[in-house]
C-alpha cells in the first residue's frame, strides 16, 4: 500500500502549485510597481479632483482641469508637444525605413558600417548629444563655419528653435526604430521577397505591398513607444528647444519649480498620463494580438 509521500500529486494540484509559484515570483515586482507608480499616480489624480484652483479642498471638482483647458499657455504647450511628437514620428519613419530596407536587401561591406552608425546614438548620453548639437549647429559653430567656407552665408541655426528639438529627438530615436524594424524584417520569409523581385517588382513595390503589411505591428509598436518617449522628454527640449512654446515636460518642471504651483504641475502630469495611456493601450493591444496569432499557429 503506497504511503502518503508516494501518492502522486493530481494534475489540479500541480497546476495550483505552479500558479502559486508564478504569482510568488511576480509579487515583489508587482508590489514595487504599486508603491512607486500606481500609488503616486492615484494620489495625484485624487488630489487634482478634490482641490480647487485656490488650493483648498472642496470635494469633487474639475476646477484644476477646467483651468488647464481654459489657460492659453497650457493648451499652447500641450498642442505644441503633440505637434512636435507627430512630426518626430513621421521623420523617424521616413529616415529609418530606407535604412531598414538597405540593411535588408544589401549584402555589401558597407552594410555593417551603416548598421553601426544607425545604432551609435544609442550609446551616447542625451546630455552629451544635446551639447554636441549645440556646438555643431549654433551660429559660428562647426556647421556654420563649413557652410560659410562653401559660400553659403544664410545659415539659420536650429538651436533654441523647434527644429532643434525635432532634430535632437529624431537623432535620439533612430537606434530604437532601426532595431525594431530590423527585428521585424528578419521575421519576414525571404522567399516572399525573392518571389516578388523575380516577377519584376521594384523595391518600393516590395516594401508597400509585402514588407509593410507584414511588419505593421512592429510599426505600431514603434509609434507607440516613441510617442511615449517624446511625451516624457525633457533634456533635449530644455537644452535645444525654444523658451516658448515649451514641451509639456519642460512646462511641467517650470510650473513646479519656478511658478511654485505643484498642483498645476500635478494636473499637467495627470493629463499627460492619460494621453500616454492611449499610446500604451495601443501598444498592449498590438502585442497581445501578435501573441495570440503566434500561439494560434
Ordered structural domains, the chain, with CATH: 71-296 (1.10.3720.10)
Instruction: Return the closest-CA partner of residue 163 out of 217, 95, 93, 83.
Output: 83
Measured CA to CA in angstroms, residue 7 lies from 2, 17, 121, 239 at distances of 7, 16, 59, 69
CA angle 125, 126, 130 (to 5 degrees): 120
pLDDT band for position 2 (50/70/90)? low
The residue count for the chain: 297
pLDDT digits (tens, 9 = 90+) for 236-258: 999 999 999 999 999 999 999 99
DSSP 193-221: HHHHHHTT--HHHHIIIIIHHHTHHHHHH
The Cα 243–Cα 78 span in angstroms is: 14
The Cα 45–Cα 250 span in angstroms is: 20
User: Residue range 6-32: average pLDDT?
Assistant: 76
Best-predicted range by mean pLDDT (84-88, 144-148, 151-155, 182-186): 84-88
Query: pTM, whole model, 2 decimals?
Result: 0.86
Asked if 188 contacts 215 with a C-beta cutoff of 8 angstroms, the reply is yes
3-state secondary structure at position 238: helix
Q: Please give the grid coordinates belonging to residue 93.
A: 519613419
Asked if 234 contacts 272 with a C-beta cutoff of 8 angstroms, the reply is no
Structure confidence at residue 110 (pLDDT): 87
pLDDT digits (tens, 9 = 90+) for 119-142: 999 898 999 989 999 999 998 888
User: Residue range 23-34: average pLDDT?
Assistant: 87
For the chain, the C-alpha Rg in angstroms (whole number) is 25
Amino acid at each position: 500500500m503506497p504511503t502518503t509521500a508516494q501518492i502522486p500529486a493530481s494534475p489540479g494540484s500541480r497546476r495550483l502549485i505552479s500558479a502559486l509559484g508564478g504569482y510568488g515570483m511576480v509579487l515583489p515586482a508587482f508590489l514595487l510597481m504599486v508603491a512607486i507608480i500606481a500609488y503616486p499616480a492615484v494620489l495625484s489624480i485624487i488630489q487634482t479632483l478634490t482641490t480647487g484652483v485656490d488650493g483648498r479642498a472642496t470635494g469633487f471638482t474639475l476646477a484644476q482641469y477646467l483651468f488647464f483647458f481654459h489657460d492659453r499657455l497650457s493648451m499652447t504647450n500641450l498642442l505644441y508637444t503633440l505637434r512636435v511628437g507627430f512630426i518626430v514620428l513621421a521623420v523617424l519613419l521616413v529616415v529609418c525605413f530606407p535604412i531598414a530596407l538597405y540593411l535588408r536587401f544589401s549584402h555589401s561591406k558597407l552594410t555593417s558600417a551603416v548598421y553601426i552608425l544607425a545604432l551609435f546614438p544609442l550609446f551616447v548620453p542625451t546630455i552629451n548629444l544635446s551639447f554636441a548639437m549645440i556646438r555643431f549647429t549654433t551660429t559660428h559653430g562647426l556647421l556654420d563655419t563649413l557652410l560659410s567656407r562653401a559660400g553659403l552665408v544664410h545659415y539659420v541655426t536650429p538651436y533654441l528653435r523647434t527644429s532643434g528639438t525635432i532634430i535632437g529627438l529624431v537623432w535620439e530615436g533612430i537606434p530604437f526604430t532601426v532595431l525594431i524594424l530590423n527585428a521585424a524584417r528578419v521575421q519576414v520569409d525571404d522567399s516572399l521577397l525573392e518571389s516578388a523581385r523575380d516577377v519584376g517588382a521594384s523595391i518600393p513595390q516590395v516594401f508597400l505591398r509585402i514588407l509593410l503589411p507584414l511588419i505593421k505591428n512592429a510599426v505600431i509598436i514603434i509609434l507607440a513607444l516613441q510617442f511615449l518617449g517624446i511625451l516624457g522628454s525633457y533634456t533635449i527640449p530644455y537644452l535645444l528647444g525654444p523658451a516658448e512654446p515649451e514641451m509639456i515636460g519642460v512646462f511641467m518642471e517650470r510650473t513646479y519649480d519656478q511658478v511654485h504651483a505643484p498642483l498645476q504641475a500635478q494636473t499637467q502630469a495627470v493629463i499627460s498620463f492619460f494621453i500616454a495611456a492611449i499610446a500604451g493601450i495601443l501598444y498592449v493591444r498590438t502585442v497581445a494580438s501578435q501573441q495570440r496569432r503566434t500561439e494560434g499557429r
